[in-house]
Amino acid sequence: MGNLGVIFAQLKKLRNDINRKMRGLVGKDMVTESWLCMEVLSLLPSEFWGISISWTEEWFSLECGSEPSTCV
């Protein structure tokens, strides 16, 4: 597996391409930053991240920063 920064950059480029095309077709973005982060996390085995997440409203956030480690 490559550098996570490179992978996230590629995913963001793909997201931007999809959203640009969808804005032309339906007038709105379809792939959000939150969805992108959750899709990436869903591919990881839960023992790496699932047990460390507190699912309380105060703690849980889907906002992602520029670093992949800031997701969730």
- Tell whether the model's pLDDT for residue 69 goes beyond 70: no
Which residues have a Cβ under 8 Å from the Cβ of 28 and sit 6 or more positions away? 22
Please give the pLDDT value at position 63: 58
pLDDT at 72 over 50: no
Q: What is the pLDDT of residue 50?
A: 60
Q: Provide the H-helix boundaries in the chain.
A: 4-26, 33-43, 46-49
Residue 37 tokens read as 């982060």
- Say if CB 62 and CB 72 are below 8 A apart: yes
Q: What is the pLDDT of residues 8-24, one digit of tens each?
A: 888 889 999 999 999 99
Q: Which amino acid is at 42?
A: S
Is residue 41 within 8 Å of 48, Cβ to Cβ? no
